[in-house]
Structure 1
Amino acid sequence: MENTPSNIDITFITINYNSSHHTIAVVESIIAHTLNDCNYEIIVVDNASEFEDYTHLHDTISSFPRVSIIRNRINNGFAGGNMLGVNSAHGKYYFFINNDCLFLNDVGSIMKRYLDGHSNIAVATAKITDKKGHFSSSYKQFPSVIKQWFGNSVHRQLSSKPFPSNKVRLEAPTAVEIISGSCMFFRAEEFNAIGGFDTVFFLYCEEEDICKRVWNNGKEIYFLPEAEVFHVGGGSSIRNIALEKEFYISYTLLIDKHFSCFERLLIKTALVLKQFRRIFTKKNGLSLFLFVASGAPIHESLRYQQSVR
């Protein structure tokens, strides 16, 4: 059956940023594992990669069936890049998948089948594993005052909804609080209803924000272990102090958005104290402490170091 905007089941969306070898591999794995009776499209958003990387990507996958490439003139980050892909998406489901992931089975069809039968679920994720076969942060907990001061265990014990720890290997479909942004399978209707990703976040914390809004909207989030994804990790970035600062910028934005003034004060105080203890044990500890203590100013975001190509 020929794909038309009205009959597409799943839109796969992935972002390329100077890592075309990863992007080509994930596109090939989607095509290889997705059954022909699933009508789908693949949208690759290139977030203003260097010309050589984009050319390699374009020359390799432009002839692939069901694949389209959108060339962004500026790096809009995770949220902005994915929302650019959404602008051209036609599927009943949106599957946001990091380009440094690989499908190990027919992940899209498995998730579609489960959500087709459970209208209360807005978004799901797969069992994401690393090179050692360990769970790779498929699910986690939303920040809280208790979590920041006393840790995850105490937070779970006192929470009204004790979601499972990310250290537990779940073997059955299970409701979880937050899922990894590397693999998010959304019912398009629900994604659109809450406004999609908040593009105020450049990198990091987009998944915490949107999952919080899903729960606030009365819908559920599930982990589906039958669907399996391998995640290489760090495909588009190498961890450095600039990225660590970017995390704290996003984390501060998240806290400011979802907590009261008093809760924000408690969480940020705990965060500053934690960074102070790391001054003597962590590389760049002093720089990060001063940065967090100054409020993780947004004007230092990598967002403002991008130029239009």
Structure 2
Amino acid sequence: MKNIDISFITINYNSSSFTIELINSILIQTKDIKYEIIIVDNASKYEDLNNLKEFIKEIKDIKLVENRINSGFASGNMLGVNSASGEYYFFINNDCKILNNSAKILKDFLEENNDVALVTGKVLDEKGGFSSSYKQFPHLIKELFGNSIQRIISKNKFPSNKINLQINSQVEVISGSCMFFDSNIFKQIGGFDTVFFLYCEEEDICKRVWDFGKKVYFVPNAQIYHKSGGSSSKNFEMEREFYISYYHLLDKYYFIGSKILLKFSLLIKLFFRIFKKKNGLKIFLSFMGGFSKKNSLRYLQQLRDVEE
């Protein structure tokens, strides 16, 4: 069995056209490393799944994992990990495209920096402009008073997503659309928390990397295009899902006093959004209901029948 340097892992959900573009970009741009591509299909419609199957049938080193239920981002990626044998895991959204030999760039960076376990590249938007590759964890001071005050007070001077970094830089949280992991560290920290169905997985896993004693970095020489929202639609249910995940994040990492203040801050923000946003009132009412996990999209998924 040959050694694999990198396992690309991506999720397809009724968006095979994006997945095919991602695969093509990997095949064109990735050089001088041994890699495999693992696609987890999260119970797409048969037409979409068969379109993907037809495309990949002649391509070597591609594994298609068929999930009969849409298990979301974290669980879907963990299903991909079950089939991965790479020294590094490159989790990448299927609505991304590799613009250069970014996998090797990120691999080389990790090999040269043993104190780093997780990196991302420069994520670009449709116009070639800098998109958000990194952000900060929802610290209490930041949520109450803003990024500027938080950076003045905090001993960890992590850059906000409003700063366009041009050099290799230590960051607190990276985008879930492009996460390049040392597989050994990923395994030791337990991988993605599958309680998250969608959203906030990156905040959670980046914090666990830091808590494990390793660093998270942004490496701008690696460039990736991301069609934000290409693999999911924006609606009330998706927006509510974000806050369900956000509440789980708060419950996981904050003591009662901090949680109360953070939720009070959110109350103020969501109240004023009633008058500004289309779904403002519905989201505010969901807040009053505590963004219960029982309303998660996870519980609306149905097991797909086996194709005859």
Q: TM-score range by the shorter chain?
A: over 0.9
Distance (Å, rounded) in 1 between the aligned partners of 2:257 and 2:160:
27
Could you say what secondary structure the match of 1:71 adopts? strand
Residue deviations 1:132-181 (CA, integer Å, cap 9, x gap): 22221100000011111111221122111011121222111100000000
Q: Is 1:33 matched up with 2:29? A: yes
Distance (Å, rounded) in 2 between the aligned partners of 1:205 and 1:271:
16
Give TM-score scaled by structure 1 length. 0.97
Q: After TM superposition, list the pairs within 5 Å mapping 1:106-185 onto structure 2.
A: 106-185=101-180
Q: After TM superposition, list the pairs within 5 Å mapping 1:249-288 onto structure 2.
A: 249-288=244-283
1:13 aligns with 9
Aligned residues: 304
Distance (Å, rounded) in 2 between the aligned partners of 1:262 and 1:84:
36
Distance (Å, rounded) in 2 between the aligned partners of 1:172 and 1:76:
36
- Counterpart of 1:130, as a letter, is D
Change in 2 beyond 3 A, CA 1:148/1:293: farther
Asked whether the equivalents of residues 62 and 68 of structure 1 are also in contact (C-alpha less than 8 Å), the reply is no
- Counterpart of 1:11, as a letter, is S
Residue deviations 1:274-308 (CA, integer Å, cap 9, x gap): 10111111112111111112210110000000011
Distance (Å, rounded) in 1 between the aligned partners of 2:160 and 2:219:
15
Give TM-score scaled by structure 2 length. 0.97
Distance (Å, rounded) in 1 between the aligned partners of 2:279 and 2:161:
28
- Counterpart of 2:16, as a letter, is S
1:77 aligns with 72
Q: Is 1:61 matched up with 2:56? A: yes
Distance (Å, rounded) in 2 between the aligned partners of 1:118 and 1:237:
35
Distance (Å, rounded) in 2 between the aligned partners of 1:230 and 1:292:
34
Distance (Å, rounded) in 2 between the aligned partners of 1:88 and 1:251:
29
Distance (Å, rounded) in 2 between the aligned partners of 1:20 and 1:188:
27
Could you say what secondary structure the match of 1:9 adopts? strand
1:233 aligns with 228
- Counterpart of 2:268, as a letter, is L
Q: Is 1:190 matched up with 2:182? A: no
1:223 aligns with 218
Could you say what secondary structure the match of 2:4 adopts? coil
